[in-house]
Amino acid sequence: MNASDRDWLAAEFERARPRLRAVAYRMLGSLSEADDAVQECWLRLERSDSGPINDLRGWLVTVVGRISLDALRARRAAHEEYRGTWMPEPVIATEGTPNPEDEALLADSVGLALLVVLETLTPPERLAFVLHDIFDVPFEDIAPVVGRTTEAARQLASRARRRVRRSAPEPDADLALQRSVVDAFLAASRAGDFAGLLAVLDPSVVLRSDGGGTGPLARPPIVGAEAVARRLQTTGPRFAAYAQWIVVNGGAGVIVRTPNQPPVVVAFTVSHRLIAAIDLIADPAKLTELSGRSPSERGVSTG
């Protein structure tokens, strides 16, 4: 590959990079792993004979999908003994200003609750759903990646779609509305107001937490408004007293910084003016943005 060809490929790759990162993040739920997948995609492009590639951007999307699929399978094997709920790495915007690296992810946000549901799919189901339903990749292109026929790839996406519709509540679009509901929740939490909590919780609300597979937050989800409200009656006042507004994956969230404790990020899924999911992330490995990691440390080099 001569220098001019490489420069052209690098420029095309940079134009495609936000989309590739978005694909990888929806597959892996991890910003660092998504960046690793995008970097590997560039390396494969460099090593390939790009002449026969008719649709470079389509080729890049399927390649990053294949890399993400392999990474997801490897992670599943490593997490067989993971305690509690494995949560994705959140995309956080403080004071309404996201990291520039994350703007493309927030522009077409996938809520934390949806990413948790995607984690329950098989890796081929997740790939078929993400590539087809979110990024409009034809099943003919997905089939070779998952090693199935086109019809089988279509069935993978269909099964995933049913699971998502059944288990992932559709968030209310208005962020101001979400915040008003969460404000009422925080006020009830600070007061230990059981009735006030029930008034803003969906009857089937789920409270999930991820402390990195260990510690007090490594526990099964709590399901149902009464069970969640009872739990929050005891822990809520302290939690709510230190809550500060942030945007998490495009939705309402708070960061809780209690004295002498690591930060906890809480994402709320507000659907039909009720809180349908509360997701707590305390795993330090997933909160590196809060420790001042610079965007360059996550960048993809084409140099």
Split at pLDDT 50, 70, 90, the class of 96 is low
Most confident stretch, 74-88, 177-191, 224-238: 177-191
Of 297, 300, 303, 296, residue with least CA distance to 41: 300
Residues 111-126, mean pLDDT to the nearest whole number? 92
Q: What is the pLDDT of residues 253-281, one digit of tens each?
A: 999 998 888 899 999 999 999 999 999 99
User: Based on the number of CB atoms within 10 Å of its own CB, is 82 exposed (0-12), middle (13-18) or buried (19 or more)?
Assistant: middle
Q: Which of 50-59, 127-136, 245-254 shows the lowest mean pLDDT across its residues?
A: 50-59
Question: For the whole model, what pTM was predicted?
Answer: 0.85
- Return the DSSP state at 48: S
Give yes or no for residue 227 having a pLDDT over 50. Answer: yes
Which pLDDT does position 298 carry in this prediction? Answer: 47
Residues 127-153, mean pLDDT to the nearest whole number? 95
Q: What is the pLDDT of residues 173-204, one digit of tens each?
A: 999 999 999 999 999 999 989 999 999 999 99
CA dist 151 and 277 (Å) reads: 34
Split at pLDDT 50, 70, 90, the class of 294 is very low
CA dist 245 and 231 (Å) reads: 22
Split at pLDDT 50, 70, 90, the class of 293 is very low
Count CB neighbours of 214 within 10 A: 11
Query: Could you tell me what percent of the chain has a pLDDT over 90?
Result: 60
30: tokens are 């991890």
Of 268, 255, 173, residue with least CA distance to 228: 268
Which pLDDT does position 284 carry in this prediction? Answer: 85
Total residues belonging to the chain: 303
Task: Tally the C-alpha atoms within 13 A of residue 31's C-alpha that lie toward its C-beta.
Answer: 24
CATH code matching the domain that covers 175-289, chosen among 3.40.50.150, 3.10.450.50, 1.10.645.10, 1.10.10.10: 3.10.450.50
The overall average pLDDT reported for the chain is: 86
User: Based on the number of CB atoms within 10 Å of its own CB, is 150 exposed (0-12), middle (13-18) or buried (19 or more)?
Assistant: middle
Give yes or no for residue 296 having a pLDDT over 60. Answer: no
Beta bridge partners of 19: none
CATH code matching the domain that covers 3-89+112-168, chosen among 1.20.140.160, 3.30.465.10, 3.40.47.10, 1.10.10.10: 1.20.140.160
Question: Could you check whether 3-89+112-168 and 175-289 share the same CATH topology?
Answer: no
CA dist 146 and 144 (Å) reads: 6
- Domain-by-domain residue ranges, the chain? 3-89+112-168, 175-289
Which pLDDT does position 236 carry in this prediction? Answer: 81
